[in-house]
Amino acid sequence: MKFTDGYWQTLPGVTIHRPRAVDEVVAGERSLTAYAATGRLDTRGDTLNRPLVTVTIDSPMDGVIGVTVEHHQGGVDPRPVFAIAGSTDPVEVTGATFDDPRAALRSGPLTARVSTTGEWALDFEVDGKVVTSASSRGVGLVTDGQGRRFVREQLALGVGDHVYGLGERFTAFVKNGQSVDVWNADGGTSSDQAYKNVPFYLTDAGYGVFVDHPGQVSFEIGSEVVSRTQFSVAGQRLRYYVIAGPAPKDVLRRFTALTGRPASVPDWSYGLWLSTSFTTSYDEKTVTGFIDGMAERDLPLSVFHFDCFWMRQFHWCDFVWDPATFPDPVGMLARLHERDLKVCVWINPYIAQRSHLFAEGKDLGYLVKRADGSVWQWDLWQAGMGLVDFTNPDAVAWYQGKLKVLLDQGVDCFKTDFGERIPTDVVWHDGSDPERMHNYYTHLYNEAVFDLLKAERGEGQAVLFARSATAGGQQFPVHWGGDCESTFVSMAESLRGGLSLAASGFGYWSHDIGGFEGTPDPVVFKRWLAFGLLSSHSRLHGSDSYRVPWAFDEEAVDVTRRFTHLKMSLMPYLAQAGVEAHELGTPVMRPMVLEFPDDRGAATVDTQYMLGSDLLVAPVFSAEGDVDVYVPEGTWTSLLSGERVTGPRWVHETHGFDSLPLYVRPGTVLPVGARTDRPDYDFADGVTLRLFDLPDGHRSTTRVPGADGAPGARFEVSRSGGTVSVVAHGATGAWSVEVVGGASVQVAAGTSAVELTL
């Protein structure tokens, strides 16, 4: 939200009180509290009839400093609040000295320094270097022309600093110059609205910022004042955290420690998911035909998804299979399991009036109410629908009980659709502030479903396909990109959304291969296949047309086979990338800047990504196959063709439908699995370690996870002169080593070490 007319004037009716003079800074055991007047304090009379800004500085954990800016402190503590982790990491608090008239609070590599006299100033240092600052012109207690109150903060942007994140946003990947309202909306992928709004931004300047407010947060990223990021919230209080790097990966590691790490996902979820699509006609015969067709064409399939019309029309959601279409759901699910498939079904948190659950939920008080006690309803999406009140623990248990029936029938996971259109003219069971619940509702919704899956299927076996989220939602993977059009432009905007979500702490991401709206031209579908099957999770899904590859042409079948087999062979590598997402908060699909923060050429790239740390993927967004790919420093090798290219530079290439730029980083030890027919297997048994341009003196450890989190194998690789040595730990089966472009060796089971001559 903008409050000023240019740099010097406020908008009509707007007043801004700024901290002008520091009265006192009080040091606590683990905090600093500063009191700043909103005018000069030349006489005692200057203390009268004006607001006082109270700023508290503390630290919840190493490398994270919290700042609370307050006007009046007498309000009721609002709900909901983000769950913020804390620790007893040491914090150093120091007062002003003769040489330095500033008080300081240090937490690990991050220090906040606040002036104790004169004009208000607050600096943030990472490893002794100032990375951003707040000045007296930035902090503001704002009243607009309608008498509404806001608290605003501005943090300095340095020359060349780039800002990323703020959730899954489909606008430009670099957020500089954008105005962003954090407010969940069902707006598709073609606007500035977003399904997944996260009040956190990442920079390439050594820090990130998380605004601890679950409701609407307005960001002006170098747009109201071009040299600053601005964020504001309604009310009398603003709390934010500055999170230290110095590298972007360090920021994400700390941010996900603060708000929750992504859960680990089952190995089977990395395989190909096939959907009925949305409004198409289907029954068990249709489903079986699709599955038979995939098997006949050697297209490995892991999950079959039933979209909305598995239930009767006008009954969403009653969680009852349409008896006219699926008269034997338990038998059908058993038959699908006999084919070694997992089953996903579509759900949402809305209860249509025609659903038998509406009357039940109304009578039990489990649906969200208006102020007069009536059930909140509207006809958008489902006729007369109500909304499950997940702030009521009994309503959560009720909803989970309905889903458990499906799990007992044989369903394995849920697509948790919707959750964005949450009203603000309602009363919540726990008294939550409706404005703060709008974004937070999706967190409670996905948490309820994920917790049920975890309880019923076990740790590491729970997985969702979720559309909406906010901060902390990364704990409940997987998330997909929502309703995109079936065009190259929408394919590119989907990727930008995924990159922004990755920069917001989300570890896994997917999208509808070929696009959702409409039927893609075969050239779009085939190009999207390569992108989709080189994403963390891969799903064929559409709106009013099927997405089986043979519906397009035979070449689409060949492309599907090639890239599905490739992804299955890369499972030892992808599964380890998933371990990193779970343990460190580093996403599987990574913006280039995350891996190459010191490469200025990588800072703005939004048409490619790193899959894990060592594979560069550049989707092709043209029918002709023309693509420009940025190659960072070093000599990179195409995994598909073996061709080599040296960076840093942009390279123009042309690819057929069975190819795309897929480059391996120099110095990589890439574990390639022995199977191409499924994602869940013993990754270490028969694994091949492919060595790409290891420099002399190279030493690294490559970990190959066991199936679904079981102990795996570890390979220590080193090079000395012309000799490469590999030492295996925990490898019980056979394995092999291949120097790309050179020697290779097969290693028998039980062998723990081998040497190769280059």
- Parallel, antiparallel or unpaired: strands 662-664 and 688-692: unpaired
* pLDDT-based confidence at residue 280 (cuts at 50, 70, 90): very high
Cα–Cα distance between 758 and 745 in angstroms, integer?
12
Read off the pLDDT of residues 575-586 as tens digits, 9 standing for 90 and up.
Answer: 999 999 999 999
Per-residue pLDDT for 355 more than 80?
yes
**C-alpha to C-alpha distances, 247 to 164, 167, 598, 608, nearest whole angstrom:** 14, 19, 9, 20
Say which residue the tokens 């086979």 belong to.
561
pLDDT at 41 over 90: no
Q: Mind listing the pLDDT tens digit for each residue in 521-540?
A: 999 999 999 999 999 999 99
CB atoms within 10 A of CB 58: 21
Which residue of the set 267, 417, 493, 580 is catalytic? Answer: 417
Angle at 256 between CA 214 and CA 671, to 5 degrees: 140
Contacts of 238 (CB under 8 A, 6+ apart): 68, 69, 70, 151, 152, 153, 211, 213, 231, 232
Residue identified by tokens 């190769």 is: 756
CA 53 – CA 34 distance, rounded (Å) = 8
CA distance 540 to 465: 13
Q: Is 46 a catalytic residue?
A: no
- Give the per-residue pLDDT at 23: 92
Is residue 526 within 8 A of residue 492, CB to CB? The reply is: no
Q: CA-CA distance, 748 to 732, in Å (whole number)?
A: 9
How far apart CA 15 and CA 51 sit, in angstroms, is 12
Question: Between β-strands 140-143 and 15-17, what pairing exists: parallel, antiparallel or unpaired?
Answer: antiparallel
**Percent share of the chain, pLDDT over 70:** 100
Which of 70, 125, 389, 420 is catalytic? The answer is: 420
> Which tokens go with 623?
């029918």
3-state secondary structure at position 464 = strand
Q: With contact defined as beta carbons under 8 Å apart, do 581 and 507 qualify?
A: yes
Asked if omega into 434 is within 30° of 0 (cis), the reply is: no
DSSP assignment of 633-657? EEEEEETTT--EEEEEEEEEEE--T
Q: Which contacts qualify for 517-520: CB closer than 8 Å, 24 or more apart?
A: 517/188, 517/483, 517/484, 517/485, 517/486, 517/543, 518/485, 518/486, 518/543, 518/544, 518/545, 519/486, 519/544, 519/545, 520/486, 520/487, 520/552
Q: In which residue are the tokens 């707040």 written?
A: 134
At 87, is the pLDDT very low, low, confident or very high (cuts 50, 70, 90)? confident
- 3-18 tens-digit pLDDT: 999 999 999 999 999 9
- Contact predicate 550/293, CB 8 Å: yes
pLDDT at 571: 98
Strand ranges across the sheet with 744-747: 668-672, 688-692, 735-739, 744-747
- Partners of 211 in the β-ladder: 240
Three-state SS sequence of 212-276: CCCCCEEEEECCCCCCEEEEEEECCEEEEEEEECCCHHHHHHHHHHHHCCCCCCCHHHHCEEEEC
Q: How far is CA 582 from the centre of its chain?
A: 12
C-beta separation of 658 from 558 below 8 A: yes
Q: Is the pLDDT of residue 99 over 80?
A: no
Query: For the residues 465-487, what does the mean pLDDT come to?
Result: 98
Q: pLDDT of 387-400, one tens digit each?
A: 999 999 999 999 99
pLDDT surpasses 90 at 621:
yes
Phi, psi at 240, each rounded to 5°: -140, 160
Query: What is the predicted pLDDT for the residue at 88?
Result: 87
CB 569 within 8 A of CB 602: no
Over residues 504-521, the mean pLDDT reads 98
Question: Residue 207 pairs with which residues in a beta bridge?
Answer: 244
- For range 267-282, the mean pLDDT: 97
Please confirm whether the linkage preceding 327 is cis (ω < 30° from 0): no
CA–CA distance, 24 with 41 (Å, rounded to integer) = 12
Active site residue 643: no
Alpha carbons 81 and 733: distance in angstroms, whole number? 49
Q: Which tokens is 479 given?
A: 């998330």
Clarify whether 70 is annotated catalytic.
Answer: no
pLDDT band at 116, cuts 50/70/90? Answer: very high
Which residues, in sequence order, are CB contacts of 132 under 8 Å at separation 6+? 123, 124, 155, 156, 157, 158, 203, 205, 207, 242
* pLDDT score recorded for residue 42: 85
* Confidence at residue 160, expressed as pLDDT on a 0 to 100 scale: 96
Task: Please report the pLDDT score of residue 509 as a whole number.
Answer: 98
The pLDDT of residue 710 is above 80: no
- Distance CA(59)–CA(48), nearest Å, equals 32
Give the span between the Cα atoms of 640 and 616, in whole angstroms: 12
pLDDT score at 557:
98
Taking alpha carbons only, the member of 361, 468, 464, 359 closest to residue 421 is: 468
C-alpha 718: how far from its chain's center? Answer: 35
Give CB contacts under 8 A, 24+ apart, made by 547-555: 547/274, 547/275, 547/277, 547/512, 547/513, 547/514, 548/274, 548/290, 548/293, 548/294, 549/297, 549/299, 549/525, 550/293, 550/297, 552/520, 552/522, 552/525, 552/526, 553/522, 555/522, 555/526, 555/657
**Exposed, middle or buried, 130 (CB in 10 Å: 0-12/13-18/19+)?**
middle
Give the residue among 604, 597, 611, 612 at the shortest CA–CA distance from 245.
597
373 sits in the region (left: phi over 0; alpha: psi -120 to 50; else beta) called left
Give the percent of the chain with pLDDT over 90: 93
Checking if the pLDDT of 98 tops 80, the result is no
For residue 709, pLDDT over 90 is answered with no
Mean pLDDT estimate for the chain: 96
Report the pLDDT value the prediction gives residue 750, as an integer from 0 to 100.
84
Q: Examine the pLDDT at 272 and tell me if it is beyond 80.
A: yes
The residue ranges of DSSP E strands in 439-488, in sequence order, are 479-480
> What pLDDT, on a 0 to 100 scale, did the predictor assign at position 336?
98
Task: For residue 734, name the pLDDT band (cuts at 50, 70, 90).
Answer: very high
Which is it for strands 179-182 and 163-167: parallel, antiparallel or unpaired?
unpaired
Query: Catalytic one among 483, 512, 614, 682?
Result: 483
Mean pLDDT of 491-506: 98
Residue with tokens 């061709």: 643
CA distances from 388 to 317, 483, 561 (A): 11, 23, 42
pLDDT of residue 758: 84
| Helix, strand, or coil (residue 586) | coil
Tell me what pLDDT residue 671 has.
98
d(CA 576, CA 611): 11
Measured between alpha carbons, how far is 433 from 497 in angstroms, rounded to an integer?
Answer: 29
Whole-number Å distance between alpha carbons of 646 and 648: 7
Q: Is 677 helix (H, G, I), strand (E, B) or coil?
A: coil
Residue written as token pair 């989190």? 709
> What pLDDT shows up at residue 440?
98
Cα separations (Å) of 209 from 231, 342, 387, 699? 10, 39, 33, 35
pLDDT, average across residues 449-474: 97
Higher pLDDT, 8 or 661: 661
Please name every residue paired with 387 in a beta bridge, in sequence order, or none if there are none.
350
Return d(Cα 217, Cα 219) in angstroms, integer: 6
Whether 438 shows a pLDDT value over 80: the answer reads yes
pLDDT category, 707, cuts 50, 70, 90? confident
